[in-house]
Amino acid sequence: MSKPSPVGTVMIAAARAAGRSLARDFGEVENLQVSKKGPADFVSNADHRAEEIIYSALAKARPGYGFVMEERGIVEGTDKSNRFIVDPLDGTLNFLHGQPHYAVSIALEREGKLLTGVVYDVAKNEIFWAETGRGAWLENRKLRVAARTRLNEAVVATGTPWHGKAEEMHANFAREMLAMTPACAGIRRYGSAALDLAYVAAGRFDGFWERDLKPWDIAAGIVLVREAGGTVAEIDGGDFMKTGSVLAANEELHPLIEQQLRHAAAFARKAD
């Protein structure tokens, strides 16, 4: 069994502390569902509280490190080599509707490379963590991506463009679904990219693709998948930390999923 590094231990503790705050607020959200006002404002406050807990804990433990945070934005540090990438509540829409599937996601980037990732599944009380060279772990159990090699036996996760996105993004997603649905055993949409990637690392999903995500949605999960033996790449060959378009799977399934997504893109070009 591997143990996290000192900075990994700090990140895990910060994720757990933020998760405890979210769990308390989640109980209140369930009650607010029946109110006329609704829970939206409350959830925003819950998000900010969790982020403040993480920021305070990490800034105290590693003064000088920079931050990229969903709510606070970019916080420049005196240490230009290290920065934390933080999503205090991934799966906000689930949280908003009282659905117990949401996560805290924290990654450490060093010299522009993702080094450490922590994803905390709050409702299930599961800590997924990984560090480059130390493997990927669920608590003290080592993780490995699923070994399936046939796409028609694979369950693949994805995320849909949300309300307000450009019409073309929704049309592109529809084409990708049309290409993927008959090719694989099943498609799942659970609403948390961080957990989707963690579940790929744990072998619960065989693959995952989604476009237009933010760095804090995917950074920690990417470390998990890589350290669990999986392959992560930008869907169209670019830099996923810039485009937010990511495809993750084992080495055998990755090109098969990529091929189906390329079929969807080719269909779109023909239609034009």
Return the pLDDT at 31.
64
Task: Say yes or no: 117 and 221 in one domain.
Answer: no
- Report the pLDDT value the prediction gives residue 34, as an integer from 0 to 100: 44
**Distance, CA of 267 to CA of 272 (rounded, Å):** 9
Instruction: Let me know whether 61 and 112 are in one domain.
Output: yes
Same domain as 187, residue 82:
no
Pick the last residue of a domain from 142, 167, 188.
142
Question: Which residue stretches of the chain have pLDDT < 70?
Answer: 1, 30-43, 163-165, 266-272
pLDDT for the residue 45: 82
Residues 219, 167: one domain?
yes
Q: What backbone phi and psi angles, to 5 degrees, belong to 250?
A: -75, 170
Q: Is residue 248 part of a domain?
A: yes
1 in any annotated domain: no
pLDDT 10s digits, 155-174: 999 998 876 667 788 888 89
Cα–Cα distance measured from residue 43 to residue 24, given in angstroms and rounded to the nearest whole number: 11
DSSP string covering the chain? -----HHHHHHHHHHHHHHHHHHHHHHHHHHHTTSSS-SHHHHHHHHHHHHHHHHHHHHHHSTTEEEEETTTEEE--SEEEEEEEEEEEE-HHHHHTT-S--EEEEEEEETTEEEEEEEEETTTTEEEEEETTTEEEETTEE--------GGG-EEEE-PPPTTS-HHHHHHHHHHHHHHTTTSSEEE--S-HHHHHHHHHTTSSSEEEESS--HHHHHHHHHHHHHTT-EEEETTSS-HHHH--EEEE-TTHHHHHHHHHHHHHHHHHHH-
Structural domain contains residue 60: yes
Does 155 lie in the same domain as 193? Answer: yes
Name 128's bridge partners.
Answer: 119, 138
The answer as to whether 253 is a domain residue is: yes
> How many structural domains are present in the chain?
2
Last residue of a domain, one of 87, 122, 142: 142
> What pLDDT, on a 0 to 100 scale, did the predictor assign at position 93?
87
Query: What is the per-residue pLDDT for 188?
Result: 97
Residue 108 included in any domain: yes
Q: What gap in Å lies between CA 246 and CA 212, rounded to an integer?
A: 8
Task: Give domain status of residue 188, yes or no.
Answer: yes
Q: Are residues 12 and 137 in the same domain?
A: yes
Show the domain range for 23: 6-142
Q: Could you report the per-residue pLDDT of 99-150, keeping only the tens digit for each? A: 999 999 999 999 999 999 999 999 999 999 999 999 999 988 999 999 999 9
| Residue 95 maps to a domain | yes
Q: Are residues 11 and 137 in the same domain?
A: yes
The reported pLDDT for the residue numbered 270 is 53
